Amino acid sequence: MEYDVAIVGCGPAGLTAAIYSGRYGLKTVVFESLPSQLSTVPFIENYPGFEGSGYELLEKMKEQALKYADHVFDNVVEIKRDEKFFILKTKNSEYKAKTVIFATGGRHRELGVPGEKEFIGRGVSYCATCDGHFFRGKKVIVVGGGNTALTDAIYLKEIGCDVTVVHRRDKFRAEKALQEELFKRNIPVIWNSIVVRIEGKQKVERVILKDSVKNEEFTLDVDGVFIAVGTKPQTELAASIGVERDHMGYIKVDKKQRTNVEGVFAAGDCCDNPLKQVVTACGDGAVAANSAFEYLNL
Ligand code: NAP
């Protein structure tokens, strides 16, 4: 199984790279392991020409991209290099490719507080679209102040949860349009507060919060805790073949999405690009595929 381009990751960056690479006439394979984070976004309103759920958008992208590329539903566990090829190993097979595009995205960050790990699946969740329906008519908090936290809070309110946002500062970093949607729905916000611990018996019953201005702890009875405090890049595989990362673990790329390793490119949320949006991930994917084409043909 020899390819011109192997794309690791099947989110918007990887799928766009697959469309471009395949259409350039390059023999392309795209690897999918865990579902892209896009599949968990309840609604997308800032991707031009599309309004709907992240899952819906991802499925459309996949359908289109897989006309141009082979699809391997398996995790790449190791990459090595011989004189001519990168060798990508999955649990059961081996694939050879002349170039690699990492589009490995990110995974949710944890709060790291007592009770968080213990109550995963019993009141603690990182995915409002996956788990929100268990909490209809119940009291939940969403922790965070970014686009994900506000999108999740709005979604949870829409499906009938009694939702409160807990944010560590007195200002959201989420875009204004989402803030307006949140306030329009009268979703309460507990400002300047952090989660100290999560408590309960069989499942979550309460959170202990700390008001950082008053320096006081207080208790909130809740059934669910949705944690949306950002993402961490998945770049260990890239690092294993010498790809340079920044201090946060994001892959360093130039304007052509080239890494420091010849024949290796990266796109989307795993890169050190300043904006992490679906539309920019797609842009990165197109540029990375174009760069792979140039590398192979010039
Ligand atoms: P983010 O923008 O990094 O925001 C993370 C939030 O969590 C921040 O408000 C941060 O607080 C807070 N936080 C971080 N660590 C914390 C901790 N230990 N305790 C309490 N709070 C903590 O992450 P995101 O919202 O997941 O978004 C990630 C990227 O995806 C962003 O670029 C975002 O624009 C994009 N995104 C886009 C959409 C969309 O366009 N529809 C939807 C979702 C996400 P501070 O503000 O104080 O730092």
In this predicted model, what pLDDT tens digit does every residue of 215-257 receive, in sequence order?
Answer: 999 999 999 999 999 999 999 999 999 999 999 999 999 999 9
Question: Is 27 strand, coil or helix?
Answer: coil
Whole-number Å distance between alpha carbons of 51 and 18: 23
Confidence of residue 298 (pLDDT cuts 50, 70, 90): confident
- How close is the Cα of 168 to the center of ligand 1, in Å? 12
Residue 5: partners with Cβ closer than 8 Å, 6 or more residues away: 17, 21, 26, 27, 28, 29, 97, 98, 99, 100, 101, 289, 292
Among residues 130, 221, 246, 254, which one is catalytic?
Answer: 130
131 assigned to active site: yes
> Given this model, what pLDDT does residue 135 score?
98
Question: Is 95 strand, coil or helix?
Answer: strand
Smallest CA-to-CA distance from 263 within 70, 4, 44, 60 is with 4
| Ligand 1 atom closest to Cα of residue 111 | 18
10 assigned to active site: no
Q: What is the tens place of the pLDDT at every residue in 54-83?
A: 999 999 999 999 999 999 999 999 999 999
User: Under a CB-based contact definition with an 8 Å cutoff, are residues 209 and 218 in contact?
Assistant: yes
Nearest CA to ligand 1 atom 29: 276
Q: What is the tens place of the pLDDT at every residue in 77-101?
A: 999 999 999 999 999 899 999 999 9
DSSP class of residue 1? -
Whole-number Å distance between alpha carbons of 28 and 18: 7
Overall average pLDDT of the 6-32 stretch: 98
- How close is the Cα of 90 to the center of ligand 1, in Å? 32
Residue 164 has which token pair? Answer: 């409160």
Quick check: 52 pLDDT over 90?
yes
> Could you identify the residue written with the tokens 């999560």?
198
127 assigned to active site: yes
Which of 147, 154, 195, 208 maximizes ligand 1 atoms within 8 Å of its Cβ, making it the mutation to test the pocket?
147
Pocket of ligand 1 (CB under 6 A): 41, 44, 46, 111, 143-149, 151, 168-169, 173, 194, 228-231, 276-277
pTM metric for this prediction: 0.89
Which element (helix H / strand E) includes 184?
Answer: helix 176-184
Among residues 70, 74, 127, 272, which one is catalytic?
Answer: 127
Average pLDDT of the residues of the chain: 97
Nearest CA to ligand 1 atom 22: 229
| Ligand 1 atom closest to Cα of residue 45 | 41
DSSP class of residue 252? P
Quick check: 34 pLDDT over 90?
no
> Given this model, what pLDDT does residue 8 score?
98
| 173-228-206 Cα angle (round to 5) | 120
Q: What is the tens place of the pLDDT at every residue in 127-150?
A: 999 999 999 999 999 999 999 999
Whole-number Å distance between alpha carbons of 86 and 98: 6
Q: What is the tens place of the pLDDT at every residue in 164-201?
A: 999 999 999 999 999 999 999 999 999 999 999 999 99
Smallest CA-to-CA distance from 295 within 271, 261, 269 is with 261
> Given this model, what pLDDT does residue 128 score?
95
Work out the number of other CB atoms within 10 angstroms of the CB of residue 46: 13
Quick check: 262 pLDDT over 90?
yes
> Given this model, what pLDDT does residue 1 score?
87
Among residues 4, 131, 223, 284, which one is catalytic?
Answer: 131
- How close is the Cα of 236 to the center of ligand 1, in Å? 22
| 259-101-294 Cα angle (round to 5) | 75
Residue 38: partners with Cβ closer than 8 Å, 6 or more residues away: 11, 12, 54, 55, 57, 58, 278
> Given this model, what pLDDT does residue 239 score?
98
